[in-house]
Structure 1
Amino acid sequence: MSPTTQLKVCGMRDADNILQVAALCPAYMGFIFYEKSPRFVGEGFVLPAGFPAEIKKVGVFVNATAETMLATAARVGLNALQLHGHESVEVCRQVRAAGLEVIKVFSVGDDFDFTSTGPYREAADYFLFDTKGKLYGGNAQTFDWSVLRRYDQQVPFFLSGGLTPANVGAALALEGLNLYALDVNSGVETAPGQKDIGLIQELKKNSRL
C-alpha cells in the first residue's frame, strides 16, 4: 500500500449528504452528469454552500461532447472530468488542454487487453479501472484485481467496482501497482446517491486513509 493512496467518494447528489461526506475529507468527490444513472445529479446541479475548496470536484460523464463537459465544468466549478464511455483520445486532450484533470475509465474483465490503454497515456492524468458490467459503472461488483499485474503501471490509476469496508484491505494489499486512489460508491450507500457516514469511516479506518 502506498502511503499516498487517495480516497474518492463518487455518486454524490444530496446537499446535506455532500457536506457530511466532505467533513470526512476525501481527496475527491464525484458527481454524475449521466442522465441514465440512478445517481444522476439532475439538471441545474450546484454545489452546496460551504463545500471545502481543498476537495477536488469530479464530473462523471458518458460519451458527452467536450463542449458539453467543459461548459458544465465551468458552471459547477469542477476540477476534473471522469470519462466513463468510449471517449476518444482527442476529447481527452481537449479537456486536459482546458486545465482540467482527466480520469479515463476502462471496464475490466478477466480477458481485458491492457494495451488498449496505451493511446490514452499522454492524454489522461489518471486511469480508472472499474468492473466490466451491464452499466457504465455502479455495478457493485469487484473484478479479479490480480489482472492489474498485467498493466504496465505507466499511468497512476483509481480502483473502482464494489469496494466496501470489508474488502478494501485486500485491494491495498496488492503489491507493485501504481494505485493512486480508491473510488467508492455503492459499497458505502444506504440508497443510490445516499452515502452512509459510518461505512465511509469504517472504510477509512480499514484502509488507513
Structure 2
Amino acid sequence: MIIKVCGMRDSNNIRQVVDLGVDWIGFIFYPKSSRYVSMKSSSSGLLPDIAINYDCNKLSTHKCTVKKVGVFVDDTAQNIITRVVNYDLDIIQLHGSETPTLIRNLRSTLDPDIHPDIQFIKAISVKAPRDIDKYKLYEKDVDYFLFDTKCETIGGSGKHFDWEILKLYDGEKPFLLSGGIKPEDVEKIKLFNHPKCIGIDLNSNFEISPALKDIQSLSKFITEIKK
C-alpha cells in the first residue's frame, strides 16, 4: 500500500515523516491553502522562481525512494512547470477543474525534456454516487486518481465521504483513498476492498497545526496499517 502524506512544508518535519517509511510526500501549491508552499520571485524575468521554504532536492539523497507530489488547483501551465523544475516533482496532482487538454499539454512539455516519466493524479471530489463518473473524462490522460471528500474548501476537510460509493468505480487506473482519514481508521481501511485501490492519502487529521505533522501519531498509524 502506498502511503502519501500531504500538506508538508517544514524541513525537519519532512525529514521525520520520510524516515517513517512513507512513499509519497505532498506539497500544496494553492495560495488559499493554510498549507501553501510559497516561492520567492527571482525578479530577473529569465529564471524560474526560487523555492524558499526548504531544499526539497535534499529529499532525493535523504531517501531515494520517496516521490514528491505537487498539488495544484486550477493553476497555469507556467506555474506548474516552474514548480516541477524548482522542487524536482515526480507527480503532479490536479485538484481543480483542469481539462484533459491541459494535462496532455503538460505531459508533452515535461516528458521527456524537462522531467522524464512525470506522472499525473486527478483528484475527484466525492459526495454522491454520481460524482464517481467524473473520472471518465480523465482516464486516458492520467496515471492515478485520488478520491477525496467534496467540501467548500479544496481538500483538507478532515471529513470522510461514504467509501462504499467507490464500488461504482470501474475504471482501469489505480487510485488513492483520501478524505479525512484518521488515526483510528486503521481497521476500516483494512476492511476496505477495491482492486484498484493502491494507497491512502493522509493530511489534516495527523497534524499538530497546518502543515506540521504529528510524528508520533503517524508512526503508530503506519506501523498498524502495515501489520
Alpha-carbon distance between aligned partners in 2 of 1:136 and 1:11, rounded to the nearest angstrom: 12
1:129 maps to 147
Q: Identify the residue that residue 73 of structure 2 maps to in structure 1.
A: 62
Q: Is 2:125–2:131's contact at 8 Å kept on the other side of the alignment?
A: no
Superposed CA deviations along residues 44-81 of structure 1, whole A, max 9, x for unmatched, are: 34435642232100001000122220121011111111
Q: Within 5 Å, which residues of 2 pair with 1:95-110?
A: 95-97=106-108, 98-99=110-111, 100-110=118-128
Q: Which runs of structure 2 are paired with 1:54-203 in the superposition (5 Å)? A: 54-97=65-108, 98-99=110-111, 100-203=118-221
Counterpart of 2:148, as a letter, is: D
Q: Structure 2: which amino acid aligns with 1:8?
A: K
The corresponding residue for 1:47 is: 55
List alignment gaps of at least 5 residues for structure 2.
40-50, 112-117
The aligned length equals 205
Q: Report the CA distance shift for 1:75/1:134 in structure 2 as closer, same or farther (over 3 A).
A: same
Which deviates more, 195-204 or 108-117? Answer: 108-117
- Equivalent positions of 1:14-53 (< 5 A) are 14-43=10-39, 44-45=51-52, 46-48=54-56, 50-51=58-59, 52-53=63-64
Partner of 2:46: none
Secondary structure of 1:147's counterpart equals helix
5+ unaligned residues in a row in structure 1: which ranges? Answer: none
Tell me how far apart the structure 2 counterparts of residues 108 and 176 of structure 1 sit (CA, whole Å): 16
Once residues 143 and 96 of structure 1 are traced to their aligned partners in structure 2, the CA distance between those partners, rounded to angstroms, is: 31
CA distance in structure 1 between the aligned counterparts of 2:65 and 2:26, rounded to whole angstroms = 14
Distance 2:4 2:19 in 1: 13
Deviations 1:116-175 (A, max 9, x none): 211211100000000000111000001100000011142100111111221132123122
**Considering only aligned residues, what root-mean-square deviation do their CA atoms show, in Å?**
1.5
In the alignment, the residues of structure 1 paired with residue 103 and residue 207 of structure 2 have an alpha-carbon distance, to the nearest angstrom, of 30
Secondary structure (helix, strand or coil) at the match of 1:121 reads: coil
Larger C-alpha radius of gyration, 1 or 2? 2
- The answer to whether the 8 Å contact 2:71/2:94 transfers is yes
Contact 1:103 1:128 in 2 (8 A): yes
Task: Work out whether residues 96 and 124 of structure 1, in 8 Å CA contact, stay in contact via their aligned partners in 2.
Answer: no
Identity %: 37
Q: Which runs of 4+ in 1 moved over 3 A?
A: none
Give the secondary-structure state (helix, strand or coil) at the position aligned to 2:184.
coil
Equivalent residues of 1:145, 1:171 under 8 A apart:
no
TM value normalised by structure 1: 0.92
